[in-house]
Chain A
Amino acid sequence: MLLQELLIENKGEILEAWVDQVLATYPEDGARIFKKEKDQFANPVGYAVKNSLWEVYTLLFEKNETAKIVAALEQMVQIRAVQTFAPSEAVSMAYTLKRVVKSVCHKEKVADLEGWQAFEEKADILAYTMFDLYAVSRERLYQTRIAEIKSGNHITTDGGCPSKLMDKNIAPKAELKTINV
């Protein structure tokens, strides 16, 4: 069997594992109800991730429309960019996918070097698209912070008039703590 066939035939299984691994950050965690639940009011954020991955998978391996993955990924990456992830983890989906597909290959005993090269190429596109989007999102986040300071709202925290009267020695925590990613 060729890898491309495997990717389509085992789509359900691969996606399930992929979503599962992306969502579950805690290896010790047993509960996997999001796999089972169809309607996801419990966790729209997790669900957004799931939907994005499904769409991206379809675009990459079924429809072959690589250019469209930006739109499919945009909001998911935007969400992950403001969550408590390390950057590497926020955009690690492509590597997770490689791992999943590799294990399915093993199981199905597929040895299709050419196919794997094609697959890897697409997975790489996914990886650096996400990296780009992540960087854009983070930059936008800090631009937002800067814009907020420029807008004049900062005067409430930096004006500090009453405290200045109380104590000249201002070395508040607020100034010391810088962004810590």
Chain B
Amino acid sequence: MAIMKADKLGVSVAKGPSLMTGAVPKKDWPDVEAIFKPGNYAYPAKKEMMEYHSQKTFPNHPGLFGEPRDWDPEADDWKLPENWKEIILNGIKERLDKFRSLKIFMDCCVRCGACADKCHFFLGTGDPKNMPVLRAELLRSVYRNDFTLGGKILGKIAGGREMTFGVLKEWFMYFYQCTECRRCSVFCPYGIDTAEITMMGRELLHLVGVNINWIMEPAANSNRTGNHMGLQPHTFKDNIIYLCDDIEEITGIKIEPTFNRKGAEVLFITPSADVFAEPGIYTAMGYLLLFHHIGLDYTWSTYASEGGNFGLFTNNEMMKKLNGKMYAEAKRLGVKWILGGECGHMWRVVHQYMDTMNGPADFLEVPTSPITGTRFDNAASTKMVHISEFTADLIKHGKLKLDPKRNDHRIATYHDSCNPARAMGLIEEPRYVLQNVVNNFHEMPENTIRESTFCCGSGTGLNTDEIMELRMRSGLPRANAVKHVRDKHAVNMLSCVCAIDRATLTSLMNYWNPDVEVCGVSELVGNALVMEGEKERETGLRFEPLAGMEG
């Protein structure tokens, strides 16, 4: 009878239908409830945080973030405002009037299923509501019910659903299990972009005060201190100086960067994680070495010390507000143009939103490389250039003295970060740079790179450690592709141009492929740069011994 006990083992835990275990739910998807339990949701924003946003960030926009309060996703009462349904429906109406994309994406889906197995969240979790089509249906069903003729007349038969607390829970669950990576949109015959749907969903959730701390706190930090990390000006500077000390120890070169300097030619902005967190700091050392190498007249800013923009994961208002610092600071300092570091969603904002929101930047000049004279006409209006574009141009003109042998202890592959690949088209520049700075390079399988790249699984503010298991699941498709090149080519370095990637892929690799490290492309550049007057190099930027140069 011991067998019967085995039969009962653990069944109580994995409750609720899910494809995750291989069983197919018997119920139709609208009838499957979203259940929150530790590990499957990110913590809600602290009350103080939301008070800060209501009082300081947006004092003149009441209602943008609902009522600040402490609440628990696992509880049956989320302490929603009494008229929360009305707020949501009005919010949908408002957004339909503001975004054509929303209307089209609500109306056009034929549920062909082409997107279903394109989502890393679906592939990794097997949860059917992570199919992009169903994620959108969560919102679409409410839209149909209240905003279309068919839904108003036929209701459920037309696929309509009333806005209920259960639906709201689903929204919170699944709009925070989407990283807005746009992979599904590549394969959709109508270009339906789940990123747009998720953004709308999250905006609506904010209206009734449903949010997560890992987005709202960095956003608050960014508003006040200029960066997500919450680094105050002197700390920000100290950290960079500390990196310069390391550089001196490794190369013998003393670098003295400037901060908030008026009259510099270029303002350099990168995600603050590059200044503080591993392994981003090695990428920052790469920038510092590069700029010193070419003698660039540039300055850092402590006020605009964040490239990333968690407003993109919040709402349009927040995105605009946080992004505004870039132009404001460029104007104050009187620089000619802005150079941007390696970051994914930062570049989505810079490339597709910044000029529209906070332009025109008529006080800046069309970016021109002072070293090569190349005019970056592709940034003629926004006046901001990506570091990979800038570096590729330098290499092409032979302005960098490079010794790729210094990266011979690295067998690299390249992870296309979602936003540069699918919202910008930055695909070949980093590859060109890599070709010139590493000798050993292998691409991952075709369907997992370039425009088909798989997300790290933790973008859009989901890189918080309380959902580590979820992140490991959603990152499985990416990790699998890395495993493939690791097994085949002994790849040991996963390079990328995204700060979130650098943090999250590191964790992903730690779990799935422990012998693979993660770096920014600029780290490999910095490591390969032969600096004038340098001492004999024995280690790389991580103080790791170089192959064949050990002594």
Contacts and interface: CB of A to CB of B under 8 A. Distances in A.
A144 B504 CA distance: 10
24 contacts: A24-B21, A25-B14, A29-B26, A33-B24, A43-B126, A45-B123, A46-B20, A78-B512, A84-B40, A87-B10, A99-B7, A147-B506, A148-B468, A151-B506, A152-B273, A153-B503, A156-B214, A157-B464, A159-B229, A162-B49, A173-B43, A173-B44, A174-B43, A177-B466
Contacts of A113: none
B48 A163 contact: yes
Contacts, number: 221
B3 A30 contact: no
B510 A140 contact: yes
Nearest to B117: A41
Interface in A21-52: 22-34, 41-46, 49-50
Contacts of B425: none
Contacts of B225: 161
B9 interface: yes
A71 B279 CA distance: 30
Given A84-B37, A86-B14, A157-B214, 15 more contacts: A23-B23, A31-B26, A83-B469, A84-B469, A89-B13, A92-B6, A95-B3, A137-B511, A151-B503, A156-B228, A156-B230, A162-B217, A165-B52, A167-B47, A170-B48
B20 A84 contact: yes
Specify the main secondary structure of chain A where it touches its partner: helix
A51 to B, nearest CB: 12
Interface of A: 22-34, 41-46, 49-50, 78-79, 82-90, 92, 95-96, 98-99, 102, 137, 140-141, 143-145, 147-157, 159-163, 165-167, 170, 172-174, 177, 179-180
B151 interface: no
Main SS class of interface, B: helix
A82 B52 contact: no
B304 interface: no
Interface of B: 3, 6-7, 9-14, 17-26, 37-40, 43-44, 46-49, 51-52, 55-56, 70, 72, 117, 123-126, 213-214, 217-218, 220-221, 223-225, 228-232, 273, 276-279, 281, 463-466, 468-470, 472-473, 476, 503, 506-507, 510-512, 514
A26 B11 CA distance: 8
A121 B223 CA distance: 63
A180 B70 CA distance: 21
